[in-house]
Structure 1
Amino acid sequence: MRVLMFDIDTLRSDHLGCYGYQRNTSPTIDQIASEGVRFDNYYCPNAPCLPSRASFITGQYGIRTGVVGHGGTAADLRLQGTNRHFTDDFSENGLFMQFRRAGMHTVSFSTFAERHSSWWFNSGFNECYNVGGRGGESAEAVTPKVLDWIERNGSADNWFMHVHFWDPHTPYRAPKEFGNPFKDEPLADNWITAEVFKEHLLHIGPHGANEINMWNDDTNEKWPRHPGKLSTIEEMKEFMDNYDCGIKYTDDNIKMIIDFLKQKGLYDDDLAIIVTSDHGENMGELGIYGEHATADEPTCHIPMIIKWPNGKKGIVAEGFHDNVDLLPTIKELLNTPLFGNHYQYDGKSYAKTILNGEDCSKEAVILTQCCHVCQRSARFNDYVYIRTYHGGYHLFEKEMLFNVKLDPHQLNNIAGENPDLCAKGAKLILDWVDEMMKKSDYSIDPLWTVMREGGPEHARGNLATFIDRISGTKREYGIPLLRKMYPNG
Structure 2
Amino acid sequence: MLMEEGFMNILAIAVDTLRADHVSCYGYKYKTTPFLDEYATRGVRFENFYAPGIPTQPSFTTFYTGVHPITHQIVAHGGKVALDRKIPVFTEILQKAGYLTCAIDNLWKMKPWFTRGYEFYIDPSARREYGQTVDCDTQNSRAIPWLREHKRERFFLFVHYWDPHTPYIPPERYRGLFYQGKPFEPNNHSMDDFYKRAYGPAWAKSWFTRYVPDGHITNADFVKALYDEEIRYVDEGIKKLIGTLKEEGIEKETLVIIFSDHGESLTEHGIFFDHHGLYENNIHVPLIMVGPNVPRGRTIKQLVQHTDLAPTILEAAQVRIPESMEGKSLWPLISGEKNEPIYDKLITEESTRMCKWAMLKDNYKFILARESDYYHFPPRELYDLNSDPEEKNNLAEEKPSLARQYEEELEDWIEQRIRRLNRKLDPLKEQGASMPYWLGWIHPRKYW
1:398 is aligned to 379
Q: Offset at 1:312? A: 2.0
2:435 aligned with 1:457: yes
User: Secondary structure of 2:303's match?
Assistant: strand
2:156 is aligned to 160
Q: Could you tell me how far apart the structure 1 residues matched to 2:327 and 2:29 are? A: 33
Distance 1:230 1:391, change over 3 A: farther
Q: How does 1:182-197 map to 2 (within 5 A)?
A: 182-184=178-180
Equivalent residues of 1:170, 1:290 under 8 A apart: yes
Q: Could you tell me how far apart the structure 1 residues matched to 2:295 and 2:388 are? A: 32
Equivalent residues of 1:210, 1:228 under 8 A apart: no
Q: Could you tell me how far apart the structure 1 residues matched to 2:209 and 2:118 are? A: 32
1:170 is aligned to 166
Equivalent residues of 2:52, 2:347 under 8 A apart: yes
Structure 1 gaps, min length 5: 80-87, 186-196, 465-481
1:264 is aligned to 248
2:285 aligned with 1:299: no
Once the two structures are superposed, residues 197-219 of structure 1 have per-residue CA deviations (whole angstroms, 9 ceiling, x without a partner) of 97x7675xxxx464483575632
1:191 is aligned to none
1:363 is aligned to 344
1:119 is aligned to 112
Once the two structures are superposed, residues 123-152 of structure 1 have per-residue CA deviations (whole angstroms, 9 ceiling, x without a partner) of 121111101243331112111111211232
Distance 1:384 1:153, change over 3 A: same
Equivalent residues of 2:44, 2:290 under 8 A apart: yes
Equivalent residues of 2:365, 2:382 under 8 A apart: yes
Q: Could you tell me how far apart the structure 1 residues matched to 2:159 and 2:116 are? A: 15
Q: Could you tell me how far apart the structure 1 residues matched to 2:265 and 2:112 are? A: 28
Q: Offset at 1:286? A: 1.2
Distance 1:294 1:221, change over 3 A: closer
2:272 is aligned to 289
For residue 226 of structure 2, the aligned residue among 242, 245, 265 is 242
Structure 2 gaps, min length 5: 1-7, 182-187
2:305 aligned with 1:310: no
**Structure 1 length as normaliser, TM-score?**
0.81
Q: Offset at 1:440? A: 1.2
User: Secondary structure of 1:256's match?
Assistant: helix
Letter matched to residue 376 of structure 1:
W
2:5 is aligned to none
Letter matched to residue 235 of structure 2:
D
Q: Could you tell me how far apart the structure 2 residues matched to 1:217 and 1:104 are? A: 42
Percent sequence identity over aligned pairs: 27
1:447 is aligned to 428
Q: Could you tell me how far apart the structure 1 residues matched to 2:215 and 2:352 are? A: 21
Letter matched to residue 220 of structure 1:
S
Equivalent residues of 1:376, 1:387 under 8 A apart: yes
Moved more, 249-258 or 409-418: 409-418
Once the two structures are superposed, residues 140-192 of structure 1 have per-residue CA deviations (whole angstroms, 9 ceiling, x without a partner) of 211111121123222x141111111001111112223432311249xxxxxxx
Q: Could you tell me how far apart the structure 2 residues matched to 1:225 and 1:169 are? A: 17
Q: Offset at 1:26? A: 0.9
Letter matched to residue 218 of structure 1:
A
Distance 1:42 1:459, change over 3 A: farther
Q: Offset at 1:355? A: 2.4
Q: Could you tell me how far apart the structure 2 residues matched to 1:369 and 1:228 are? A: 31
User: Secondary structure of 1:251's match?
Assistant: helix
Q: Offset at 1:296? A: 2.1
Moved more, 144-153 or 244-253: 144-153
2:38 is aligned to 31
Letter matched to residue 99 of structure 2:
M
2:68 is aligned to 61
Equivalent residues of 2:369, 2:380 under 8 A apart: yes
Moved more, 128-137 or 209-218: 209-218
Letter matched to residue 75 of structure 2:
V
2:137 aligned with 1:140: yes
Q: Offset at 1:441? A: 4.3
Q: How does 1:204-283 map to 2 (within 5 A)?
A: 208=194, 210-211=196-197, 213-214=199-200, 218-220=204-206, 224=210, 231=218, 235-268=219-252, 270-283=253-266
2:22 aligned with 1:15: yes
Q: Offset at 1:460? A: 4.9
Equivalent residues of 2:53, 2:350 under 8 A apart: yes
Letter matched to residue 168 of structure 2:
Y
Q: Offset at 1:248? A: 0.8
Q: Could you tell me how far apart the structure 2 residues matched to 1:406 and 1:377 are? A: 18
User: Secondary structure of 1:386's match?
Assistant: strand
Once the two structures are superposed, residues 82-138 of structure 1 have per-residue CA deviations (whole angstroms, 9 ceiling, x without a partner) of xxxxxx432xx3122343244321111001121x1x121121211111012433311
Q: Could you tell me how far apart the structure 1 residues matched to 2:406 and 2:195 are? A: 30
1:408 is aligned to 389
2:122 is aligned to 129
Q: Offset at 1:485? A: 4.6
Letter matched to residue 121 of structure 1:
F
- Count of residues paired in the alignment: 429
Q: Offset at 1:321? A: 1.3
Letter matched to residue 314 of structure 1:
G
Distance 1:262 1:439, change over 3 A: same
Q: Could you tell me how far apart the structure 1 residues matched to 2:215 and 2:284 are? A: 26
1:478 is aligned to none
Moved more, 289-298 or 322-331: 322-331
Equivalent residues of 1:70, 1:371 under 8 A apart: yes
For residue 379 of structure 1, the aligned residue among 360, 378, 385 is 360
**Structure 2 length as normaliser, TM-score?**
0.88
Q: Offset at 1:249? A: 0.7
Distance 1:416 1:222, change over 3 A: closer
Equivalent residues of 1:386, 1:400 under 8 A apart: yes
2:177 is aligned to 181
User: Secondary structure of 2:262's match?
Assistant: coil
Q: Could you tell me how far apart the structure 2 residues matched to 1:364 and 1:228 are? A: 44
Q: Could you tell me how far apart the structure 2 residues matched to 1:215 and 1:71 are? A: 22
1:49 is aligned to 56
